[in-house]
Structure 1
Amino acid sequence: MEYQQVTFAFYNVENFYAKTTSMENSFLPSNYAKWKDNRYETKVDRISHAISRIGFKETEELPLFVGLAEVENEDVLKDLIENARVKKANYDFVFYESLDERKINVCCIYQKDKIKILHSEPIRVVFKDTYGSKSYTRDILYLESEFENEKFYIFVAHLPSKIDQEVNQEKRKILLSKIRQRIDDILAKDTDAKIIVMGDFNDTPTADNIRIELDTRAKVEEVKNTELYNPMVGLMSYQRGSLVHKKQWMLFDQIMFTKGFLTEKSKFKLTKIDIFDSAFLTQNIDKMGAFPNRTFIGSKYLGGYSDHFPVYAIIKY
């Protein structure tokens, strides 16, 4: 029997600010690194190149859907999808500007000739400290889509960083609970709903926040009802990850699934999950081995792709 495969991916693209940014004369709020010469054009081409190769070995096509993190605005996405490396996919995008202090957002690009976006919205959480002062982080992007006459629900997240760990850990917990609440609402109406949760969670797949708040399982057979399957647990390694944090490999970038992608009767089946860490995305640093070839390290411009590797899933139907 003939079958087809498509790629769903997530990519933290590291400080992908527009060439003309909303920050006064600045590329970053800290005002230490700016686009100049052809650096912006190089960044667009680098990210387009990476996206064009994700899952291509398995599907011989560009990704159907890519969730993105650390994108400043729509101008970046317009330039990205018009790049020659990805233009044939005829991508469109969904973007909402958050109140994040760094002006970076989650968003997505998708092949509009193949997948239809039925509904989209940002899930925004306002945090308050003990003095009543408000703080914000990136919104969670929520999408309802239709692919091959079936509905897909997709969440794209970029949770607060490991900096200021005690405060941000609680924020991550709250944001994860918001995602879980929405998942429960969907599954209450359709127990076989096809839900994908992807993002940079700034935590490992086995972290308590992810396991408990999202109710994840590491094995397919453990997903009985409303639990999420987190296949990234099987990719955890001291020798490999999606980024390097404090000189150690970490797997903060993850994609998770409901049982709608796992059962025998499912039209769509998860067949592969992986980190896209091809050699062209890497650089050798001292004796540490091949790390993600990033755009900046501190204020030093390196001209690479990103400090994260993409992660991706292959879905067969």
Structure 2
Amino acid sequence: MIRFLLFTFVALVCSTPVCRAKKPSVRIAFYNAESLYDTVSPPGSADGAWTPQGERQWDTERYRTKIEHIARVIDDLDADLIAVAEVENENVVRDLMFAMRSDYNYIHRNSRDRRGMDIVLFYKGSLFYPRRARLHAGPGLPREPLVVEGELDGTPLTLMACHLPSLLNRAADRRRALVSLRAAADSIREARPEHALIVLGDFNAAPDSPDPVRILSISPCPPQGRRRPPEKTETLLSPFFALSRRGYGSYVYRDRRCLYDHILLSPHLVADSSKLRYEGSCGIFVRDYMVHREGRPAGYPLRTFRGRTYLGGYSDHLPVFVDLEKQESE
């Protein structure tokens, strides 16, 4: 029953060819690409398994297949900005760029993650003009969030893309990461109060989980027609709150759907005065080729490996997105 409901949901979330908001819009997305390694293990790295001689037998053919698969998903998603996690290095970023049909620019920084997993931001230069990019270091953040400041279709914006510690880490470590993320968001808002803020990524926790709600001060986005921003300006708004409570997910953990990938918005993006406004269009992006179609894992994301068995899939995560609608000038 779980597998059937997962497949039914994701098919409904984004079933049209374009799956855009009705008005002209800007799409913001996040995708955990699941271990997008090349075939070379640099000295001192922890990715020896991802080589032709390693236990994954990660050769050029498997690497090229993975690149083509991730490129296909990004092309079909057609986001204007998309942050992609678990990308090993800039050489991989370039290979991905060459494989995509879409015309993107990119921002990449080398993190200190021991597995060599970075976050890259792909963006369409006709809409987004970056002015500053950096990694934010903090306690509990071995994979530093990528912070990019710029202007999105005339709206000042700071985007923070993160990949927080997994459930294999202690609960205290995960809470420390959330505290660091909250401190980063507060410092951004203090330094750039005129900027809209978008925090997106793999949080390894649902938006309605107790720790993220309490530490990040997450609230559901207000219903359409009630766009008055929350009185507490430190609040981050979640378009995915209701979806998570209804049991939908971008990832499957122990046969349970989990909305670990999601996107948070500052109150700027629901205010009547905003030139880009969230009006309710968000979801988990999927195509038939991205999930198992039959057997025991039917409806689960079609990943690259199950244990040590090579499946030749896409990722163990599905992308998530929000559409910000462009408002007509008065």
Measured against the shorter chain, the TM-score band is 0.7 to 0.9
The one-letter code sitting in structure 2 at the alignment partner of 1:223 is P
Corresponding residue for residue 58 of structure 1: none
Corresponding residue for residue 10 of structure 2: none
Q: Deviations over 1:277-298 (max 9, x none)?
A: 2222111363453110111111
Say whether the 8 Å CA contact 1:18–1:76 is kept in structure 2: yes
Say whether the 8 Å CA contact 1:118–1:145 is kept in structure 2: yes
Change (3 A) 1:42 1:237: farther
Q: How far does residue 157 in structure 1 lie from its aligned partner after superposition?
A: 0.5
Query: How many residue pairs get matched?
Result: 294
Change (3 A) 1:239 1:211: closer
Corresponding residue for residue 13 of structure 1: 33
Matches within 5 A, 1:148-187: 148-164=153-169, 167=170, 169-187=171-189
Corresponding residue for residue 57 of structure 1: none
Corresponding residue for residue 197 of structure 1: 199
SS in 2 for 1:18: coil
- Report the Cα distance in structure 2 between the residues aligned to 1:3 and 1:163, rounded to whole angstroms: 42
Corresponding residue for residue 143 of structure 2: 138
- Report the Cα distance in structure 1 between the residues aligned to 2:113 and 2:195, rounded to whole angstroms: 31
- Report the Cα distance in structure 2 between the residues aligned to 1:17 and 1:114, rounded to whole angstroms: 30
The reply to whether residue 235 of structure 1 matches residue 237 of structure 2 is no
Q: How far does residue 183 in structure 1 lie from its aligned partner after superposition?
A: 2.4
- Report the Cα distance in structure 1 between the residues aligned to 2:84 and 2:218, rounded to whole angstroms: 22
Change (3 A) 1:237 1:226: closer
Which sits farther off after the overlay, 152-161 or 191-200? Answer: 191-200
Identical-pair percentage = 27
Change (3 A) 1:238 1:229: closer
- List alignment gaps of at least 5 residues for structure 1: 55-61, 128-135
Using the size of structure 2 for normalisation, the TM-score is 0.82
Using the size of structure 1 for normalisation, the TM-score is 0.85
Matches within 5 A, 1:61-140: 62-86=78-102, 89=103, 91-125=104-138, 137-140=142-145
Which contiguous aligned blocks of 4+ residues in structure 1 show a shift greater than 4 angstroms?
Answer: 189-192
SS in 1 for 2:240: helix
Say whether the 8 Å CA contact 1:9–1:65 is kept in structure 2: yes
More strand by share: 1
SS in 2 for 1:283: coil
Say whether the 8 Å CA contact 1:5–1:314 is kept in structure 2: yes
The reply to whether residue 36 of structure 1 matches residue 66 of structure 2 is no
Say whether the 8 Å CA contact 2:139–2:176 is kept in structure 1: no
